[in-house]
Amino acid sequence: MSKLDFQEASSRFKRFIETEKARSSGHIRAYMSDIGDFRIFLEKTGNSDLLRDLTQIGPLHIRGFVASRFSKIKKSSISRKLAALRTFFRFLVRDGFLLSNPAVSLRSPKLEKPLPRALSVDDMDRFFSRNDQASKRDLAIFELMYSAGLRVSELTSLQIDDVDIHNGWVRVIGKGSKERYCPVGEKAINAILFYLPERLTILNAHPNIRGMKALFLNNRGGPLSSRHIRRIMKSFLDGANLGRDASPHALRHSFATHLLQGGADLRSIQEMLGHSSLSTTQRYTKVDLGRLMEVYDKAHPRSGFRDSKA
């Protein structure tokens, strides 16, 4: 096995990601900066000898590097540095300079998920009222997404037979092909009823696709794409003068947040959203923590609320 010092290894790795991996210039700069930080760490901790013999670098050296940065940078930056080192050492193993990858067993820190962005109840009123002249299809799309908390992918895969107009529910195939049934409100049901004649007109104009089962169709009679729905969402936001860059997923977040504000329990919200884990649904408690504290103060016998009001 050939020996390679750190500087030559870095140069070879840079050529590798420039040519074989064809990474962007920004990506390359970030990776090389991360690898350079590791080299500086080894020098500062009295391990310069490892820079001349990379075979002696082990998981403990990389763990020490991560620990030295943990309180100084974001977890996402630490994850990127670990990814850079994993890729660097994997390249050296591939080319025969190392027998094993010392970074492969180190786990990246668990990243904190950003809080869901939701439109307020007033925002939702403006969203619909100021777009009431939009097409019947577009109004039905967003009424249904907000009413049932659907993902965009779930909406685009809905078929005409998945909606029970009379009983007010919709059959949804979610992540992992899991089936669930979601209640649908009166406004969404009415919006769908207004849209159905328009859907039939589209089908009649394209005899070759009269058997199309998709609920929401484009003007050519095909199913709508997620990209198309995002464009419509941008138009609705502009029409309501909300001035924010919200995705269609914001309607799902708004659905969950407003149910929580209205007193729905987390288990029910979990079922309606199709979350496999309650911990995923519990993110919404962080969004409305102030209200939960108010509910707690009013409801818990030892919260001190009653004493303060006595």
Name the residue with higher pLDDT: 206 or 10. Answer: 10
Considering the domain architecture, whether residues 83 and 161 belong to the same structural domain is answered as no
Of 80, 252, 253, 258, the active-site residue reads: 252
Residue 251, classified by CB atoms within 10 Å of its CB into exposed (0-12), middle (13-18) or buried (19+), is buried
Q: Please pick, among 80, 199, 253, 275, the residue that the annotation labels catalytic.
A: 275
Cβ neighbors of 178 (< 8 A, separation 6 or more) are 274, 276
Its domain, for residue 141, covers 121-297
Q: Active site residue: 175, 244, 267, 298, which one?
A: 175
pLDDT band at residue 306, thresholds of 50, 70 and 90?
A: very low
Specify the higher pLDDT residue, 114 or 46.
Answer: 46
Q: Going by DSSP bridges, is the β-strand pair 169-173/179-183 parallel, antiparallel, or unpaired?
A: antiparallel
For the residues 276-298, what does the mean pLDDT come to? 71
Pair (128, 46) in one structural domain? no
| pLDDT greater than 60 at residue 226 | yes
Is residue 244 among the annotated active site residues?
no
Please check whether residues 84 and 38 belong to one and the same domain.
yes
Instruction: Say if CB 3 and CB 49 are below 8 A apart.
Output: no
Give the per-residue pLDDT at 291.
62
CATH number at residue 63: 1.10.150
What is the model's pLDDT at position 158? 96
Q: Are 169 and 64 found together in one domain? A: no
Q: Examine the residue annotation and report whether 300 is marked as an active-site residue of this protein.
A: no
Catalytic residue at 275?
A: yes
Label residue 293 by pLDDT band (50, 70, 90).
Answer: low
Which residues on adjacent β-strands are paired with residue 180?
172
Catalytic residue at 298? no
- Indicate whether 153 and 265 sit together in one domain: yes
DSSP string, 117-176: P---HHHHHHHHHTTTTS-HHHHHHHHHHHHHT--HHHHHT-BGGGEETTTTEEEEE-GG
Per-residue pLDDT tens over the stretch 229-243:
999 999 999 999 987
Q: Is residue 144 located within the same domain as residue 289?
A: yes
Q: CB neighbours of 19 closer than 8 A, spacing ≥ 6?
A: none
The string of pLDDT tens digits covering residues 45-83 is 999 999 999 999 999 999 999 889 877 888 888 888 999
How large is the angle between the packed helices 75-94 and 6-19, nearest 10 degrees? 100
- In percent, the amount of the chain with pLDDT more than 90 equals 59
Name the active-site residue from 81, 151, 199, 258: 151
309 pLDDT higher than 60: no
Q: Is the pTM here over 0.85, yes or no? A: no
Residues 33 and 140 in one domain: no
How many of the other CB atoms lie within 10 Å of CB of 306?
A: 12
206 and 282 in a single domain? The answer is yes
Kindly report, residue by residue over 127-178, the tens digit of the pLDDT: 999 999 999 999 999 999 999 999 999 999 999 999 999 999 999 999 888 9
Same domain, residue pair 17 and 149: no
| pLDDT score of 207 | 83
Please check whether residues 86 and 156 belong to one and the same domain.
no
Would you state the pLDDT for residue 298?
Answer: 72
Match 């007010």 to its residue by tokens. Answer: 168
51 and 193 housed in the same domain: no
Number of domains in the chain: 2
Q: Point out which residues pair with 155 in neighbouring strands.
A: none
Measured CA to CA, the distance from residue 42 to residue 60 in angstroms comes to 12
Domain final residue, candidates 94, 112, 129: 94
